[in-house]
């Protein structure tokens, strides 16, 4: 499935650029697209003017000598939707793991609303308003859909989590856990009110997906289709009311109808001012939603800008298809133009 999606992305990326002279000359042997100047251009396109909600600078991470993320810098402004695209293995999901504390970077910084969270834990980053989905959807299989979504709302309720700041302290974390247990056994009025709010918010987020999830709200997650497990995971992030929503291939495994439904739901979130950082292979979704697109290849940010500009960028074409295939595609376009011209002259 992933290979089919990547070929579709490649075809879409080059569809408007195949016959352009810029692509032809690039494919014919220009190596400056991979020069430091090109990297500087990409970094410049990835930065926004003014205050940024998310600011990433010089991010790097390697595994056993393989550079998975290499000197990546970009910003995401409040209310902006930014998509990350690139071939498989280009460092997209690794970057998201670095942003959310799942992995620690070898170098670079991550700032959230001006605060350095580079070394913060996953819990601390989530507490600051960052919620995410994962590339390989993660739900609690034995819990119902409703319980899965409820967990997300619980995490942000202060009344239910006294002494929560102690959770990262090795010994004192038990104080926080025991306090939560006590409130679960003997709930206060504030706790009961918070639980009613969670119930309402949980129902609202499940209802966002209409007939897809509402009739299955009490079903165990392991009984769901792959697409509905993805929807459950998205609902669990949205119930947290995140300042920054990170989505790692939210439509993976969905058919065109299901993908269109997700696009419509994400467009609603965007219209409400939700800030979104998205990894996606489906270029139609990227083009429909994105204010800016970042293109990764071999761990580096090679292009950034408006969707239409990035779609026709020779560096993007080259990353997806390689120089040889790009040259053949350009040659074929030139041949077609010549045949058309000859036919018109007859």
At residue 139's C-alpha, the angle toward residues 134 and 141, to 5°, is 150
Helices (H), the chain: 2-14, 21-27, 36-45, 92-99, 122-127, 145-154, 173-185, 189-207, 226-238, 256-271, 283-289, 307-311, 314-345
Residue 184 within any structural domain of the chain = yes
**Strand order through the sheet with 107-112:** 66-76, 54-63, 107-112, 115-116
Residue 215 is assigned to a structural domain of this protein: yes
Q: Measure the CA–CA gap between 213 and 72, rounded to whole angstroms.
A: 38
- In this structure, is residue 214 part of a structural domain? yes
| Main-chain dihedrals φ then ψ at residue 173, nearest 5 degrees | -60, -25
Structure confidence at residue 171 (pLDDT): 75
Burial (CB < 10 A; 0-12, 13-18, 19+), residue 185, is: exposed
Any domain includes 141: yes
Domain with 140 in it: 130-241
Predicted confidence at residue 191, as pLDDT, reads: 81
Report the pLDDT value the prediction gives residue 218, as an integer from 0 to 100: 97
Judged by average pLDDT, the poorest of 75-79, 97-101, 232-236, 316-320 is 316-320
Which range is most confident: 10-19, 23-32, 297-306, 311-320? 297-306
> For the residues of 37-59, what is the DSSP string, one character each?
HHHHHHHHHT--SS--SEEEEEE
Instruction: Report residue 102's pLDDT band, with 50, 70 and 90 as the boundaries.
Output: very high
Dihedral sign computed on CA atoms, order 300, 2, 316, 271 = negative
Distance CA 275, CA 8 (A): 27
- The band of 106, judged by pLDDT with boundaries at 50, 70 and 90, is very high
Within 10 A of 169 (CB to CB), how many other CB atoms are there?
12
- In this model, does residue 327 exceed pLDDT 70? no
Considering the domain boundaries, does residue 46 fall inside one?
no
- At residue 73 the predicted structure's pLDDT band, cuts being 50, 70 and 90, is very high
**Gap between the Cα atoms of 32 and 26, Å rounded:** 9
Show the CA angle centred on residue 122, arms to residues 240 and 243, nearest 5°.
35
Phi then psi dihedrals of residue 82, to 5 deg: -120, 130
Please check the confidence at residue 335 and state whether its pLDDT lies above 70.
no
| DSSP three-state, residue 20 | coil
Cβ contact 149:219 at 8 Å: no
> Is 9 part of any domain?
no
What pLDDT was estimated at residue 80?
96
Handedness of CA 69, 75, 79, 85 (dihedral sign): negative
Q: How many CB atoms lie within 10 A of CB 153?
A: 24
Q: Which residue would you say has higher pLDDT here, 38 or 188? A: 188
Query: Smallest Cα–Cα separation from 26: which of 345, 338, 303?
Result: 303
Question: Nearest 5°: CA angle at 278, between 276 and 279?
Answer: 170
On the question of pLDDT at 291 being above 60, the answer is yes
Q: How far is CA 197 from CA 49, 56, 140, 187, 205, in A?
A: 38, 35, 22, 14, 12
Number of domain units in the chain: 1
Within-domain flag for 26: no
The closest of 86, 58, 82, 88 to 70, measured between CA atoms, is 58
Residue 337: predicted pLDDT: 52
- Tell me if 323 is assigned to some domain: no
244-278 pLDDT, tens per residue? 999 999 998 889 999 999 999 999 999 999 999 99
pLDDT surpassing 50 at residue 154 = yes
């Amino acid at each position: 499935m992933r290979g089919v999606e990547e070929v579709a992305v490649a075809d879409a990326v080059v569809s408007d650029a195949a016959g352009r002279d810029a692509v032809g000359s690039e494919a014919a042997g220009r190596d400056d697209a991979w020069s430091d100047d090109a990297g500087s251009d990409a970094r410049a396109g990835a930065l926004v003017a003014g205050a940024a909600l998310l600011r990433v600078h010089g991010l790097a991470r390697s595994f056993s000598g393989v550079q998975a993320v290499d000197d990546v810098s970009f910003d995401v402004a409040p209310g902006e939707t930014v998509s990350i695209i690139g071939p498989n293995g280009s460092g997209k999901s690794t970057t998201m793991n670095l942003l959310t504390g799942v992995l620690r970077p070898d170098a670079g910084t991550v700032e959230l609303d001006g605060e350095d969270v580079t070394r913060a834990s996953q819990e601390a980053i989530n507490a600051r308003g960052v919620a995410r989905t994962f590339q390989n959807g993660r739900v609690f299989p034995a819990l119902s859909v409703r319980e899965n979504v409820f967990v997300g709302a619980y995490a942000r309720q202060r009344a239910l989590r006294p002494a929560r700041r102690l959770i990262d302290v090795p010994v004192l974390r038990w104080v926080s856990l025991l306090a939560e247990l006590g409130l679960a056994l003997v709930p206060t009025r504030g706790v009961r009110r918070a639980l009613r709010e969670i119930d309402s918010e949980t129902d609202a987020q499940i209802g966002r997906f209409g007939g897809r999830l509402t009739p299955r709200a009490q079903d165990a997650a392991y009984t769901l289709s792959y697409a509905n497990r993805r929807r459950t995971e998205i609902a669990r992030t949205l119930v947290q009311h995140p300042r920054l929503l990170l989505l790692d291939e939210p439509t993976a495994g969905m058919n065109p109808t299901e993908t269109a439904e997700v696009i419509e739901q994400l467009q609603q979130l965007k219209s409400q001012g939700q800030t979104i950082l998205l990894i996606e292979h489906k270029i139609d979704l990227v083009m429909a939603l994105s204010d800016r697109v970042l293109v990764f290849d071999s761990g580096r940010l090679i292009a950034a800008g408006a969707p239409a500009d990035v779609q026709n960028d020779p560096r993007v074409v080259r990353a997806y298809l390689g120089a040889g295939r790009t040259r053949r595609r350009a040659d074929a376009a030139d041949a077609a133009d010549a045949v058309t011209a000859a036919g018109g002259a007859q």
